[in-house]
Amino acid sequence: MLKYAGAYLATAVVFVGLDAFWLTFIGPKLYAPVQGVLLTGGVRIGPAIAFYLMMIAGLVFLAVRPALASGQASQALVSGAALGLVSYGTYALTNQAIMKGWTLSMSLPDMAWGTLIGGLGSTAGYFVARWLSK
Confidence at residue 37, expressed as pLDDT on a 0 to 100 scale: 67
Q: What per-residue confidence (pLDDT) applies to 20?
A: 95
Task: Name the more confident of 100 and 120.
Answer: 120
The three-state secondary structure class of 121 is helix
Supply the pLDDT for residue 5: 98
Check residue 80 and give left, alpha or beta (phi > 0: left; psi -120 to 50: alpha): alpha
The per-residue pLDDT for range 37-74, each reduced to its tens digit, is 667 677 889 999 999 999 999 999 999 999 999 999 99
Q: What is the pLDDT of residues 81-110, one digit of tens each?
A: 999 999 999 999 999 999 888 899 999 999
CA–CA dist 63, 83 (Å, integer): 8
Across the chain, what does the average pLDDT equal? 94
Spans of all domains in the chain: 2-133
